[in-house]
């Protein structure tokens, strides 16, 4: 097991208290706010989260309001953050908290991990940051910081390495008999903050500003360009899609995606996972019972998810007649009605083309 020196760690905590960013979820140690911030920050930069966090807290200030949230409003507030299963799990979790925990996040890592959408890292972060409990929260920033500090050559994506570093942190608390809640909360955030502001990825850390620099083996041995090592990601699956922006005067036909899977429950322009030329597109729409008055190509677009990539071509369709669609799956809406629906940012090119997004709204 690796060992952390208390004097060095004290220096890191002092550095954090002087240099930490003034973030909304750091105004207090409210467990709900910390939970929300940690979920939002998964796979997302801090800068992108700030406005979302503020809007979300305004709409859902506590566990009870989140448990009672309308799904449509919930998804719309999350538009642009992606990984929509996160916010669905948050609502499920809030409902469980209301039913079984009097609306409070438990101050116990094991209990937290029993809740929907809360894994080991998030449970550790809530326990340590909100409640000051001696638990480890090792995210990508912390992995990078400690991998460099100890000059660890192993694959940063290896779960064994993460477990070893979690044990290193909890061992530090135990060996030094640390039970100061403020210290534990600040140290947990200090390791994250150091990775975000100083121990940067891609071989460009700001070692001259680092409180660890004199003890950091990667810095002393000039290994910061090679540590941490990260094995290659799996190749993304590429899907060629054809979209149909179907219009009747000032109204647009939208399809509601299934309640499970990618972008579950959100609204989209009709489409198919195949590349169709104009003649094939007309044939496809005819089979759906849509009478096309006019068809025009639209700009192509793309969107990258974690494990797949959409490459989209699109057609504007002016339709004389639409068949009787299932009202639970298809709706015909105007621009104003569109504002109240959750439409994924994957379709931003086409939303912007028709001015269907609220001005100034970030997605």
Residue 258 three-state SS? coil
Strands (E), the chain: 237-248, 251-256, 267-272, 291-304, 308-321, 330-333
DSSP 208: G
Establish whether 225 is a catalytic residue.
no
**8 A C-beta contact, residue 226 and residue 167:** no
**Residue of 18, 38, 47, 166 marked active site:** 38
Q: How far is the C-alpha of 15 from the C-alpha of 11, rounded, in Å?
A: 6
Q: Is 155 helix (H, G, I), strand (E, B) or coil?
A: strand
Nearest CA to 295 among 281, 316, 267? 316
Q: Are 332 and 248 in contact (CB under 8 A)?
A: yes
358's CB contacts (< 8 A; 6+ apart) are: 339
Residues whose CB is less than 8 angstroms from the CB of residue 167 and which lie 6 or more positions away in sequence, other chains included: 1, 136
3-state secondary structure at position 352: helix
Is the Cβ–Cβ distance between 312 and 286 less than 8 Å? no
Letter string b/e over residues 93-120, b meaning 16 or more CB atoms within 10 A of that residue's CB: bbbbbbeeeeeebbeebeebeebebbeb
The Cα–Cα gap between 303 and 60 comes to 29
The bridge status of strand 251-256 relative to strand 237-248 is: antiparallel
Q: CA-CA distance, 313 to 298, in Å (whole number)?
A: 7
- The whole-angstrom distance between residue 263's C-alpha and the CA centroid of its chain comes to 13
Active site residues: 38
């Amino acid at each position: 097991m690796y060992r952390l020196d208390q004097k060095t760690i004290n220096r890191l905590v002092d550095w954090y208290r002087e240099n930490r960013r003034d973030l909304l979820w750091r105004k207090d140690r409210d467990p709900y706010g910390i939970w929300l911030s940690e979920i939002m920050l998964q796979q997302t930069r801090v800068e992108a989260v700030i406005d979302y966090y503020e809007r979300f807290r305004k709409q859902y200030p506590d566990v009870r309001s989140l448990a009672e949230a309308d799904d449509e409003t919930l998804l719309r507030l999350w538009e642009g953050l992606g990984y929509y299963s996160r916010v669905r799990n948050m609502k499920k979790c809030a409902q469980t908290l209301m039913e079984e925990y009097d609306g409070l996040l438990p101050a116990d890592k094991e209990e937290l991990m029993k809740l929907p959408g809360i894994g080991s890292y998030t449970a550790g972060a809530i326990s340590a940051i909100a409640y000051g409990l001696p638990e480890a929260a090792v995210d990508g920033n912390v992995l990078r910081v400690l991998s460099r500090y100890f000059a660890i050559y192993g694959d940063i994506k290896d779960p064994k390495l993460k477990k070893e570093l979690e044990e290193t942190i909890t061992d530090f608390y135990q060996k030094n008999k640390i039970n100061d809640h403020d210290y534990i909360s600040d140290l947990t955030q200090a390791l994250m903050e150091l990775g975000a502001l100083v121990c940067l990825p891609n071989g460009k850390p700001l070692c001259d500003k680092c409180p660890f620099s004199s003890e950091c083996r990667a810095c002393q041995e000039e290994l910061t360009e090679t540590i941490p090592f990260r094995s290659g990601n799996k190749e993304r699956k590429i899907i060629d899609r054809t979209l149909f922006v179907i219009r009747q005067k000032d109204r647009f036909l939208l399809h509601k995606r299934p309640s499970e899977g990618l972008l579950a429950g959100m609204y989209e322009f009709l489409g198919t996972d195949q590349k169709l030329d104009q003649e094939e597109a007309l044939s496809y729409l005819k089979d759906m019972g849509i009478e096309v008055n006019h068809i025009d190509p639209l700009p192509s677009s793309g969107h990258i998810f974690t494990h797949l990539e959409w490459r989209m071509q699109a057609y504007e369709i002016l339709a004389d007649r639409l068949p009787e669609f299932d009202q639970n799956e298809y709706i015909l809406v105007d621009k104003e009605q569109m504002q109240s629906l959750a439409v994924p940012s994957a379709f931003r090119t086409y939303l912007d083309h028709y001015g269907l997004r609220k001005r100034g709204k970030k997605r």
